[in-house]
A and B are shown apart, each in its own frame.
Chain A
Amino acid sequence: MFEPRRIDETLYEIPAEARKDMRVPARVFADEEILAAIRVDRSLEQLQNVATLPGIVDAAIAMPDIHQGYGFPVGGLAATELPDGVVSPGGVGYDINCGVRLLALPVDNEELGTRREPFVHEISRAVPAGAGREGGKRIDVQRILREGSSVVAERPDDVERTESEGRLDGADPGAVSERAKQRGGGQLGTMGSGNHFVEVQRVERIFDPTAAEAYGLSEGQVTVLIHSGSRGLGHQVCSDYVKQMDAVLGRYGISLPDRQLSCAPASSAEGRAYLAAMAAAANFAWANRQEIANRVRASVARVLGADTAEGTRQVYDVAHNVAKSERYGGRDVLVHRKGATRAFPAGSEEIPADYRAVGQPVFIPGSMGTASYVLAGEPGSMERSFGTTCHGAGRRLSRTAAKKEIQGAELRRQLARQGVVVRSASNKGLAEEAPFAYKDVDAVVDVVARAGLARRVARLVPIGVVKG
């Protein structure tokens, strides 16, 4: 394994010469301590594998929350030059447009008071968690796939405050298999499993009062962070196209160090079909988080009253598993973000007018029971990381190791002692997501802030969690 060399205080690089098949360097934003944690698993080897993709430009880039995934590491990005650079479904992942959405309530934690537990309970009743389709909204799937979150939005400002306004261009329901539609058909408005959650939080600290004011956030305020994706529909779209592309690698003369990186030129028939299906699945995910937000607002109305629900404002919604066509340095590139968040700076036309003076909001969930951050995109992201920053704390321990350390029931008691109300479909799933299984979110955010990719706006701490 080639030693990563330090470029500056927050950037390390493995040069392209490290392996014959690498086309560009592999770069990771980290400090010494985080780099040591990253090197425990095979994530840097996976990042080097990404650097072999045909058409990749500049570097395969990882954020400080990088950890070992399947094929691509989680917490990284790859930009391929259009039109003929490749698109890789594995570079987006199975949960297409997994992402996070933040709602801000017009009440503070003291006003919530003893209604906190009923509120968390009400959300757990309204937003089904775990496997399968029970409790999902029955909808016109074709329309959702074409039009995204506006189909189910109950108010226009939710759509305006969503990345890409909750709809990717080029979506084609015809490129989505019937099996995918069957899996996703009844799952709209459901959370799913794994690390998905709906978390009730308190704004603990404001770092940037100007940006916080623009985002409608103040100290002590209650917020709700929603983490979910495209459910079975997106999983099936990725499965279908990984298989299709695996079968045509030879046709395009592509040789890969890992079959899960399977890809095809973005301009090819397979590439275009995947991008049309991925856009449709991304639209489904935005509609899913929108329906979850509708259900959270309904819970606010039931527990805190209709006026409080009316005053509950969507701050923003960001994707962290998606590929988007963007322009950098005069080149059109396809930016694959897998466990990484778009972080456009102030002045970008791509972000809502209300936020244009301060930059795009970015949400970084910590592990369950620890803090989350609201960040704002900075100009450094455009110069150094294709408009991208991190997406979370990043796993440190395997699920098996986490379960060996603690049982779900004990973790539930510990969180209760910390003042966090927990509702979870599964004790096993709860233990797998124990806080110590993740890196320190404060350290991860510190790196992206020092690297100039995003700046801190607010720190949020949990007061209630509904777990998938």
Chain B
Amino acid sequence: MYEWRSHTAEIELAIEAETEEQVFVDALAAFRELVALESDAASETRAVALEASDRASLLVEWLQELIFLADSESFVAQRADDLRLEDASLSATLVGARASFEPLVKAATYHGLRFAREGDIWQARVVLDV
């Protein structure tokens, strides 16, 4: 589950999920909403392997990868198959298609970045530069 929080110039993504993996799945869903993708084509795949110093940074890297693929190849993922989280890495196969979409965000930032467990729920926050 995700929602957009108010921020003067940028946009803040807040995610609550039952598992760490679900945080990344929800971040992908949020990204798809952001680019207002109407097509549900899933004709291409991209293998993704990311590394970062901690979970929060890994979430930034995940969003950066989605932005990079959209900006450089016009590729937007529908879903992530075989998503695997290790201590400091993530791998997945993105399934989607090249498409036209709404204007992009520039980047995912470290500002106010959070990825932590509260009771049974994983909470994450990340600010995106518009």
Question: Is the CB of B43 closer than 8 A to any CB of chain A?
Answer: no
Question: Is the CB of B130 closer than 8 A to any CB of chain A?
Answer: yes
Are the CB atoms of B106 and A395 closer together than 8 Å?
Answer: no
- Tell me which of B4, B53, B103, B111 contacts A425 (CB under 8 A): B103
Question: Is the CB of A213 closer than 8 A to any CB of chain B?
Answer: no
Question: Is the CB of A426 closer than 8 A to any CB of chain B?
Answer: yes
Are the CB atoms of A71 and B111 closer together than 8 Å?
Answer: yes
Sample of 5 more A-B contacts, CB < 8 Å, known A183-B72, A238-B107, A239-B107 = A70-B110, A131-B101, A193-B104, A246-B53, A396-B8
Known: A94-B107, A259-B110, A259-B111. A183 touches B130 (CB 8 A): no
A70 to B10, CA, bound (A): 8
Known: A131-B104, A428-B36. A70 touches B72 (CB 8 A): no
Known: A41-B8, A260-B110, A395-B8. A70 touches B129 (CB 8 A): yes
Are the CB atoms of B110 and A398 closer together than 8 Å?
Answer: no
Which of A132, A179, A193, A242 neighbours the largest number of chain B CB atoms within 10 Å of its CB?
A132
Question: Is the CB of B68 closer than 8 A to any CB of chain A?
Answer: yes
A131 to B11, CA, bound (A): 17
- Within 8 Å CB of B109, what residues of A? 70-71, 90, 242, 260
A93 to B107, CA, bound (A): 10
A41 to B100, CA, bound (A): 34
Nearest opposing residue in chain B for A68, CB measure: B8
- How many residue pairs between the two chains, A and B, have CB atoms under 8 Å in the bound complex? 116
Question: Is the CB of B17 closer than 8 A to any CB of chain A?
Answer: no
- Tell me which of A71, A90, A182, A429 contacts B102 (CB under 8 A): A429
Question: Is the CB of B19 closer than 8 A to any CB of chain A?
Answer: no
Are the CB atoms of B103 and A247 closer together than 8 Å?
Answer: no
Nearest Cβ on chain B to A143's Cβ, whole angstroms: 20
Are the CB atoms of A262 and B71 closer together than 8 Å?
Answer: no
Please, what's the 1-or-0 string for A48-61, where 1 marks a CB less than 8 Å from any CB in chain B? Answer: 00000000000000
Known: A70-B111, A70-B127, A239-B64. A429 touches B8 (CB 8 A): no
A287 to B4, CA, bound (A): 35
Question: Is the CB of A194 closer than 8 A to any CB of chain B?
Answer: yes
Which of B4, B60, B72 neighbours the largest number of chain A CB atoms within 10 Å of its CB?
B72
Nearest Cβ on chain B to A398's Cβ, whole angstroms: 4
Question: Is the CB of A235 closer than 8 A to any CB of chain B?
Answer: yes
Question: Is the CB of A87 closer than 8 A to any CB of chain B?
Answer: no
Q: Is the interface of B mostly helix, strand, loop or mixed?
A: loop
Question: Is the CB of A69 closer than 8 A to any CB of chain B?
Answer: yes
Are the CB atoms of B110 and A242 closer together than 8 Å?
Answer: yes
Known: A131-B35, A232-B72. A428 touches B8 (CB 8 A): no
Question: Is the CB of A74 closer than 8 A to any CB of chain B?
Answer: yes
- Within 8 Å CB of B23, what residues of A? none
A90 to B113, CA, bound (A): 14
Please, what's the 1-or-0 string for B88-118, where 1 marks a CB less than 8 Å from any CB in chain A? Answer: 0000000000001111101101111100000
Please, what's the 1-or-0 string for A384-405, where 1 marks a CB less than 8 Å from any CB in chain B? Answer: 0000000000011111110000
Known: A246-B110, A429-B103. A194 touches B8 (CB 8 A): no
Nearest Cβ on chain A to B39's Cβ, whole angstroms: 14
In B58-73, the 8 Å CB interface with A consists of 60-61, 64, 67-68, 70-72
Question: Is the CB of A345 closer than 8 A to any CB of chain B?
Answer: no
Question: Is the CB of A150 closer than 8 A to any CB of chain B?
Answer: no
Provide 29 A-B residue pairs closer than 8 Å at the C-beta atoms, listed in order of the A residue.
A68-B7, A69-B111, A70-B111, A70-B129, A71-B110, A71-B111, A131-B102, A132-B100, A133-B72, A133-B74, A179-B72, A183-B71, A183-B72, A192-B103, A193-B104, A194-B130, A232-B72, A235-B71, A242-B110, A246-B57, A258-B110, A258-B112, A260-B111, A260-B113, A395-B9, A397-B8, A399-B11, A400-B11, A428-B102
Nearest Cβ on chain A to B8's Cβ, whole angstroms: 4
Are the CB atoms of A400 and B104 closer together than 8 Å?
Answer: no
Known: A194-B130, A468-B103. A183 touches B9 (CB 8 A): no
Question: Is the CB of A95 closer than 8 A to any CB of chain B?
Answer: yes
Nearest Cβ on chain B to A417's Cβ, whole angstroms: 26
Question: Is the CB of A379 closer than 8 A to any CB of chain B?
Answer: no
